[in-house]
C-alpha cells in the first residue's frame, strides 16, 4: 500500500513578499527535494487581512461545521491549511527583539485549537518548527523562536529542532549579522551559510518526525 503524502506548510510572518524570511523558508523546503511522498507549500501573511483576536470566547461553545472563529477574514483559509498539514514551519523577521506583529496576530487567533468546542486538539501531534531572521547578532532571534515554540507547546505539537541550532533555525539579513549591506542586495540571508544550512536541517527534521508520526 502506498504511503500517504506528507504535507509541509511554511508560513512567512513578514510583510515583505519573497523577502529574507521567505528565502529562509524556501531553503527549509529544499530538504524535500527528491523526497518521495512529500509536498510543500509556502504561504505569506503579507497583504492578508488579519484581524486581532477579540477574546470574545465565541470559539469555546459556538463552533459549527468547519467555522473556527466568528471572524471570517484571511485567517479562515489558514485554519484549513494548518489542519491539513503534517508539519508547520513558522518563520518571522525579528522586530525589536521579538516576532513580527503579523505572526503574533496569527498565533493569537489560534485559541480555537486550545478551547474550541469542535477544533480543540486538531493541531495535536503535528510537527512544528520555528525560524527567525534577525538584522544583527544578539538582535532577538532566540526570543522570537521561543515565542513560536510556546505556541507549539500550547497546542501540543511536536517541535522539530534542527541539528544546527537549539530550538529553531536562525539567520541574519545583514553581512555576518553585523548590520552591513552589500550594494543593493536586500536578500543577504542567502549569504548566511550557517543560517541557510540550519534552515535545511530544520526542514529535514520536520520531514523525519512527520514520517515517524504518520507511518
In angstroms, the CA 26 to CA 110 distance is: 24
The x, y and z cell numbers of residue 75, run together, are 485567517
Query: Looking at residue 91, what is its pLDDT?
Result: 98
In the chain, domain spans: 6-213
Domain 6-213 = CATH 3.40.50.360: yes
Instruction: Compute the Cα dihedral for 94, 124, 3, 209 and give only its sign.
Output: positive
Dihedral sign for Cα 191, 28, 162, 93, please: positive
CA distance 70 to 87: 26
What pLDDT sits at residue 209?
97
pLDDT of residue 152: 98
Q: Are 194 and 152 in contact (CB under 8 A)?
A: no
Candidates 44, 41, 72, 48; CA nearest to 58 is 72
Element (H, E) at 145: helix 141-154
Residue count of the chain, please give it.
Answer: 215
Q: Report pLDDT for 3.
A: 67
The span from the CA of 194 to the CA of 141, in Å, is: 14
Place of cell 505556541: 151
* CA–CA gap between residue 194 and residue 178 (Å, rounded): 15
Predicted confidence pLDDT, tens digits, the chain (215 residues): 456 799 999 999 999 999 999 999 999 999 988 889 999 999 999 999 999 999 999 999 999 999 999 999 999 999 999 999 999 999 999 999 999 999 999 999 999 999 999 999 999 999 999 999 999 998 999 999 999 999 999 999 999 999 988 899 999 999 989 888 878 888 999 999 999 999 999 999 999 999 999 98
Res 1: pLDDT = 44
pTM exceeding 0.85: yes
Amino acid at each position: 500500500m502506498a504511503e500517504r503524502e506528507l504535507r509541509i506548510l511554511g508560513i512567512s510572518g513578514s510583510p515583505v513578499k519573497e523577502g529574507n524570511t521567505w528565502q529562509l523558508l524556501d531553503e527549509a523546503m529544499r530538504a524535500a527535494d527528491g523526497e518521495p511522498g512529500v509536498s510543500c507549500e509556502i504561504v505569506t501573511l503579507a497583504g492578508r487581512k488579519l484581524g486581532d483576536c477579540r477574546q470574545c470566547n465565541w470559539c469555546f461553545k459556538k463552533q459549527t461545521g468547519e467555522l473556527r472563529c466568528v471572524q471570517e477574514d484571511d485567517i479562515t483559509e489558514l485554519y484549513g491549511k494548518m489542519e491539513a498539514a503534517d508539519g508547520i514551519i513558522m518563520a518571522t523577521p525579528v522586530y525589536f527583539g521579538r516576532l513580527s506583529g503579523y505572526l503574533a496576530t496569527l498565533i493569537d487567533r489560534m485559541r480555537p485549537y486550545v478551547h474550541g468546542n469542535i477544533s480543540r486538539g486538531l493541531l495535536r501531534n503535528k510537527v512544528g518548527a520555528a525560524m527567525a531572521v534577525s538584522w544583527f547578532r544578539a538582535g532577538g532571534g532566540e526570543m522570537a523562536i521561543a515565542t513560536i515554540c510556546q505556541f507549539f507547546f500550547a497546542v501540543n505539537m511536536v517541535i522539530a529542532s534542527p541539528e544546527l541550532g537549539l530550538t529553531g533555525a536562525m539567520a541574519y539579513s545583514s553581512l555576518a549579522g553585523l548590520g552591513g549591506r552589500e550594494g543593493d542586495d536586500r536578500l543577504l540571508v542567502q549569504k548566511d551559510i550557517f543560517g541557510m544550512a540550519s534552515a535545511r536541517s530544520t526542514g529535514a527534521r520536520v520531514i523525519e518526525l512527520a514520517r515517524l508520526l504518520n507511518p
